[in-house]
Amino acid sequence: MKIARTIEEVRAAVANARAHGAVIGFVPTMGFLHEGHLSLVRNVATAALSGRGAAEGSGTHMFIIVSIFVNPTQFGPTEDFSRYPRDEERDRALLESENVDLLFLPEVDVMYPPGATTRIDAGAVARPLEGARRPGHFEGVATVVAKLFNIVQPDVAVFGRKDAQQCAVIERMTRDLDIPLRLVFGETMREHDGLAMSSRNSYLSADERAKAPVLHRALRAGEEAITHGIREVAGIEKLMHRVVAEEGGVEVDYLAVVDPLTFEAPRDFDREVLVAGAVKIGRTRLIDNIRIPR
Ligand code: PAF
């Protein structure tokens, strides 16, 4: 696995891979990798080839790029940018074992040289839920992802569905800005007790970790109500709140039933809906969601 720390190094590696007929697959991350990230790497490998309709043995091969960049512009002033977990050595070893071809590890001034002020606003989909609680967050995400897409110019990029609204923001931006690539969204990987895998789980003390699966349990309760035909959004949200309250010591940021395209309350239940939530346990904020097909 090669390491690139500059944009020029990435561009040279991609040009070389393309010259040899490779399909470029890309997984942007903020590092401190876990099984969820590794499943995205495996996803991009499959997606990159299937997108070309390449039969096995056809000679088409992929070139997989992972970036690790803790993006300061997507953190609010009181958020966890400086304490966000980092472990470059361990991440490198994990990616080596997944046969990643190139790891892009830019410093902040590579991504944001002095004077860089342009930001991308993805519009309405970036406003509710996470957007309302974390002002500027999705501008930071959309901006860094657009920059990474311009640097890497991948054929396929993969993002995890745990960040459902982020997926919607990136899909909107990619379409609106005519960025020529295919997006793939990987399923959320979970611990044995349902907790969604996240780098932020490492902040949890043993007591907090024991409480954390309540978010998934609450969302499951919402899912169950919907699959049993309950259609009253306020009632479903109340039910999810009750599950969290019963656990105790967990603060709800939001627990909502939304349309997965707009992230507003669904107009009806004739299409897929999403139950999404964010809770705080001690100083740690966790998010999760479940998609519920029609
Ligand atoms: O999901 C993440 O890890 C980040 O938001 C991303 C997409 C890498 C942008 O910084």
Alpha helices for the chain (secondary structure H):
7-19, 35-51, 88-97, 108-111, 130-133, 137-152, 164-176, 206-211, 214-227, 233-247
**AA letter at 285:** R
pLDDT for 249 equals: 98
pLDDT for 54 equals: 46
Ligand 1 midpoint to CA 28 (Å):
6
Residues 129, 138 contacting (CB under 8 angstroms): no
Higher model confidence: residue 49 or residue 21?
21
Residue 43: pLDDT band by 50, 70, 90 thresholds? very high
Residues 284, 208 contacting (CB under 8 angstroms): yes
Q: How far apart are CA 195 and CA 284, in angstroms?
A: 14
Average pLDDT over residues 255-261: 97
Instruction: Tell me what the pLDDT averaged over the chain comes to.
Output: 96
Q: How far apart are CA 29 and CA 37, in angstroms?
A: 8
Average pLDDT over residues 146-173: 98
Q: What's the full length of the chain, in residues? A: 294
Q: How far apart are CA 152 and CA 65, in angstroms?
A: 8
Q: How far apart are CA 276 and CA 279, in angstroms?
A: 10
pLDDT in tens, 109-144: 999 999 999 999 999 999 999 999 999 999 999 999
What atom in ligand 1 is closest to the CA of residue 70? 10
Residues 165, 290 contacting (CB under 8 angstroms): no
Residue 142 Cβ < 6 Å to ligand 1: no
Is the pTM higher than 0.85? yes
Nearest CA-CA partner of 12 in 198, 213, 153: 153
Average pLDDT over residues 208-218: 98
Higher model confidence: residue 47 or residue 204?
204
pLDDT for 139 equals: 98
pLDDT for 51 equals: 61
Q: Calculate the CA 176 to chain-centre distance.
A: 19
Active site residues: 37
- What's the DSSP call for residue 281? E
**AA letter at 92:** R
What atom in ligand 1 is closest to the CA of residue 74? 10
What atom in ligand 1 is closest to the CA of residue 71? 10
To test the ligand 1 pocket, which listed residue (27, 29, 171) has its Cβ within 8 A of the most ligand atoms?
29
Tokens of 131: 């957007």
Q: Give the N- to C-terminal CA distance of the chain in Å, as an integer.
A: 43
Residue 239 Cβ < 6 Å to ligand 1: no
Mind listing the domains of the chain with CATH numbers? Answer: 2-186 (3.40.50.620), 199-287 (3.30.1300.10)
